[in-house]
C-alpha cells in the first residue's frame, strides 16, 4: 500500500479534522426537534369519526409567516379532532414543485388540498385534475385561478393588500399632499403574487396619489442581503427618495436595515409585508412606522375550518356565512371566505402580537 507522507502537518490535520468533525456532527444534531407544526400527523382523540386529511401547502416552507399560519392550522385540527393535517411546501418556493406536490396528494387521495399558489397559472392544471378526482380544493393566502378551486379563504385581496401598503405609506409620509419619490423592493422579478400587487399599487398610485412618484422596482431574489444592497444603492442614486415598499417578508427587513444604517430613520419611510417579530426592532426603533399584515394564525385556523366543513358537507356553494369556531361568523362573498381586514402594526400595538 502506498502511504501518504506522514509529516507533522499531516498529524495536525488529522487531529483538527477529528475535532471539527465532532463539532460538526454535534451542531448538526443539536437543533431543536421539528415542532408539531411540520410533523405530518396529528392523532385524533375521537376514532369513531371518519378522518379527513387536509393538505396545507404554503408558497414557501421555512418562512415564519407560513410557519405561524401552520400553527393556527394545527390548533384548528386539534380542536376538530377528525382532521389529519399535512403541512408541506417547496423550500425554494418553486411553483413547479408546488404543482408536483398537488399531484402527489391527488394520487394519495387526500380529502382537501389547500394551497397558497406561488403562481396560479402553473398550479391550475394540477388543481383541476385534483377536483376532477373529487378532492376539495381551497386556495388560501393567495388566490388560484377561479375554476381550479372551490373556495378562496381570503385574508385580503391582492387589491386590498396593495392599496393597504400604498395608503399606509402615504399616511406615514404625511398625507396625500406630500410630494415624494418611492421605490419597491420585490422578491423575484418573476414572483407572481408580488407582480400582481405591483400592478395594483401602480394603478392605485396613478389614480389616487399623483404626488407619489414610483422611481424604481428592484428584485431582491429573496435574499435579505440583496434587498439591503439594493435599498442602499437606490437611496444614493435617487437622493430624493422618501419611501420604500418591502413587499416580501425577506426584502422588508433588508430594506429597513439599509435605511436604519444610512441614518435616515424618520426621513425615509419603509413599509411592507412581514411578520411582526421580524420587524419588531425597526418598529420600536422608529425606522418603520407601520407594518401591513393580518393575523396569520387565524388565517391558518380558518383555512382548516373551511376545509373540514367542505369535506363534511357543512359548507356548500352559495352559503353566505360560515361559522368559524373561535373566530365567530365569517362572511362569504361568492366563493370567497373573508377573514377580515388587514392589520397595521405600529409602535402602539406591535407588542400584542408574537408571530
Partner 1 sequence: MKAIFLRILSLPETFLSCLIITLFALISQLDPSFLQWEVQRSLSSHIWELAIIAIPMTLIILTAGIDLSVGSIMSLSAITAGMLFQAGSSMPLACGAALLTGTIGGFLNGFFIARMRVHPLIITLATMATYRGIAEGISQAKPVSGFPAGFTRLGQDEWLNLPFAAWLFLIMFVSVFWVIHRRALGLHVYAIGNNDTASRFSGIHVDRILIGLYTFSGFASALAALLFVARRNTAKADIGMGIELGVITAVVIGGVSIFGGRGTLVGTCLGLLLIHETREFVSWHWNRDEFILIVLGLLLIVSVVFQKLLRHKQNSS
Partner 2 sequence: MNHTDDTRKTSGWLRMITYLLRHRAIGLFLFIGLLTTVVSWINPAFLSGQNLRDIAVQAAPICIISCGVMLVLVAGEIDISVGSMMGVLAASMGIMVSASRAQLPPHVAIALTLLIGIGMGLFNGLLVAYVGVPSIIVTLGMLTALRGLTEIIMNGAWITDLPDEIRFLGTGTILSIPLSLWTTACVLAVTIWLIHRTPIGRRIYATGSNPQAAQLAGLSIKSIKLFVFAWTGLLTAVATLVSVPQLSVVDSGIGIGTELLVVTCVVVGGTSVNGGVGTLSGVLCGVALMTMISTVLIFLKLGEHATYWSRAIQGLFILGAILADHWISNHKK
Partner 3 sequence: MRDPDMPSLNIQNLSKSYGGTHALRNVSLKIHAGDIHALCGENGAGKSTLIKILSGVETPDQGLVQWNGSHLSLGKVHEMESKGIVAVHQEPVVFPDLNIVDNLYAGRELSSGMGTWLNTASMKQQTRDILDSLGEDLPLNQPVGEMALAQRQMVSIARALFNQCRILILDEPTASLTTRESDALFKTVISLKKQGVGILYVSHRLEEVFQLAEWISVLRDGILVSTQSSKDLSEDALIQQMVGRKVAYPSRQQPVNTDITKNKPVLELKALSRTPAYDDIHLKIHAGEILGMSGLVGAGRSEIARAIFGIDEFDTGEILFNGKKFQNHSIRKAIDLGIAMVPEDRQRQGLALPLSVETNLLLPSLNAFQGMTGLDRSQMRSISGQLISKLGIKTGSPDNPASALSGGNQQKIVLGKWIHQNPSLFILDEPTRGVDVGAKSEVHRMIIELAKQGSAVLLISSELPEILSLSDRILVIAKGHVSGELAREEANQETLLKLSLPEEAKQSP
Which chain residues interact with partner 1 by CB under 8 A? 34, 38, 40, 61-62, 86-92, 94-97, 99-101, 103-104, 107-108, 119, 121-122, 124-125, 188-190, 192, 195
Cα dihedral 204, 205, 209, 212, rounded to 10, equals: 160
Q: What is the rounded CA–CA span in Å between residue 268 and residue 256?
A: 9
Residue with smaller CB distance to partner 3, 5 or 207: 5
Q: From 82, 78, 92, 90, select the one nearest 36 (Cα to Cα).
A: 78
Out of partner 1, partner 2, partner 3, none, what residue 3 binds, judged by CB under 5 to 8 A for its kind, is: partner 3
The answer to whether residue 185 forms part of the interface with partner 2 (CB under 8 A) is no
The answer to whether residue 134 forms part of the interface with partner 2 (CB under 8 A) is no
Residues listed for the chain: 355
Q: What is the rounded CA–CA span in Å between residue 37 and residue 46?
A: 20
C-alpha cell at 30: 443539536
> Rule CB under 8 A: which of 4-33 touch partner 3?
5, 7
Q: What is the rounded CA–CA span in Å between residue 350 and residue 7?
A: 61
Out of partner 3, partner 1, partner 2, none, what residue 192 binds, judged by CB under 5 to 8 A for its kind, is: partner 1
Instruction: Name the minimum Å distance from CB 281 to partner 1.
Output: 28
Instruction: Name the minimum Å distance from CB 40 to partner 1.
Output: 5
Out of partner 3, partner 1, partner 2, none, what residue 146 binds, judged by CB under 5 to 8 A for its kind, is: none
Q: From 250, 346, 336, 208, select the one nearest 289 (Cα to Cα).
A: 346
The answer to whether residue 329 forms part of the interface with partner 3 (CB under 8 A) is no
Is residue 98 within 8 A of residue 142, CB to CB? The reply is no
Among positions 243, 246, 254, 300, the unique one binding partner 2 when judged by CB under 8 A: 254
Instruction: Name the minimum Å distance from CB 118 to partner 1.
Output: 10
Residue bearing cell 410557519: 67
Is residue 93 within 8 A of residue 223, CB to CB? The reply is no
Is residue 123 within 8 A of residue 105, CB to CB? The reply is no
Instruction: Name the minimum Å distance from CB 7 to partner 3.
Output: 8
Residue with smaller CB distance to partner 1, 108 or 236: 108
Among positions 218, 242, 305, 330, the unique one binding partner 2 when judged by CB under 8 A: 218
- Give the long-range contacts of residues 231-235, CB within 8 A, separation 24 or more: 231/183, 231/185, 231/255, 231/258, 231/259, 232/258, 232/261, 232/262, 234/183, 235/259, 235/262, 235/264, 235/268
Residue with smaller CB distance to partner 1, 192 or 291: 192
C-alpha cell at 228: 439591503
Instruction: Name the minimum Å distance from CB 94 to partner 3.
Output: 40
Environment class of 103 (CB within 10 Å of its CB; exposed 0-12, middle 13-18, buried 19+): middle
The answer to whether residue 34 forms part of the interface with partner 2 (CB under 8 A) is yes
Is residue 43 within 8 A of residue 49, CB to CB? The reply is no
Out of partner 2, partner 3, partner 1, none, what residue 195 binds, judged by CB under 5 to 8 A for its kind, is: partner 1
Where does this chain bind partner 2 (CB under 8 A)?
4-5, 7, 9-10, 13, 16-17, 19-21, 23-24, 27-28, 31-32, 34-35, 37-38, 61-64, 66-67, 70, 91, 189, 216-219, 221-225, 228-230, 232-234, 236-239, 250, 253-254, 257, 261, 277-278, 280-282
Q: Which residues bind partner 3 (CB under 8 A)?
A: 2-3, 5, 7
Amino acid at each position: 500500500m502506498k502511504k501518504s507522507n506522514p509529516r507533522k502537518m499531516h498529524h495536525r490535520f488529522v487531529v483538527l479534522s477529528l475535532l471539527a468533525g465532532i463539532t460538526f456532527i454535534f451542531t448538526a444534531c443539536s437543533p431543536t426537534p421539528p415542532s408539531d407544526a411540520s410533523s405530518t400527523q396529528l392523532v385524533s382523540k375521537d376514532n369513531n369519526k371518519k378522518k379527513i386529511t387536509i393538505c396545507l401547502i404554503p408558497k414557501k416552507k421555512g418562512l415564519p409567516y407560513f410557519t405561524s399560519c401552520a400553527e393556527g392550522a394545527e390548533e384548528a385540527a386539534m380542536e376538530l379532532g377528525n382532521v389529519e393535517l399535512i403541512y408541506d411546501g417547496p423550500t425554494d418556493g418553486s411553483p413547479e414543485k408546488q404543482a408536483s406536490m398537488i399531484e402527489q396528494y391527488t394520487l394519495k387521495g387526500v380529502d382537501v388540498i389547500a394551497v397558497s399558489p406561488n403562481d396560479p397559472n402553473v398550479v391550475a392544471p394540477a388543481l383541476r385534475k385534483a377536483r376532477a378526482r373529487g378532492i376539495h380544493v381551497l386556495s388560501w393566502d393567495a388566490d388560484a385561478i377561479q375554476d381550479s378551486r372551490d373556495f378562496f379563504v381570503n385574508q385580503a385581496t391582492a387589491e386590498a393588500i396593495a392599496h393597504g401598503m400604498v395608503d399606509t405609506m402615504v399616511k406615514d409620509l404625511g398625507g396625500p399632499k406630500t410630494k415624494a419619490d418611492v421605490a419597491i423592493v420585490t422578491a423575484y422579478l418573476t414572483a407572481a403574487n408580488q407582480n400582481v400587487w405591483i400592478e395594483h399599487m401602480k394603478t392605485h398610485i396613478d389614480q389616487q396619489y399623483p404626488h407619489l412618484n414610483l422611481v424604481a422596482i428592484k428584485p431582491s431574489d429573496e435574499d435579505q442581503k440583496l434587498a439591503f444592497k439594493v435599498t442602499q444603492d437606490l437611496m444614493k442614486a435617487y437622493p430624493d427618495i422618501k419611501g420604500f415598499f418591502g413587499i416580501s417578508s425577506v426584502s422588508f427587513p433588508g430594506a429597513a436595515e439599509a435605511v436604519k444604517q444610512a441614518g435616515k430613520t424618520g426621513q425615509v419611510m419603509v413599509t411592507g409585508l412581514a411578520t411582526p417579530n421580524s420587524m419588531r426592532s425597526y418598529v420600536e426603533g422608529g425606522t418603520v412606522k407601520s407594518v401591513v399584515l393580518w393575523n396569520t394564525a387565524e388565517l391558518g385556523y380558518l383555512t382548516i375550518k373551511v376545509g373540514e366543513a367542505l369535506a363534511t358537507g357543512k359548507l356548500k356553494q352559495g352559503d353566505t356565512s360560515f361559522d368559524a369556531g373561535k373566530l365567530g361568523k365569517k362572511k362569504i362573498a361568492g366563493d370567497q371566505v373573508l377573514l377580515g381586514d388587514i392589520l397595521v402594526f405600529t409602535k402602539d400595538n406591535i407588542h400584542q402580537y408574537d408571530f
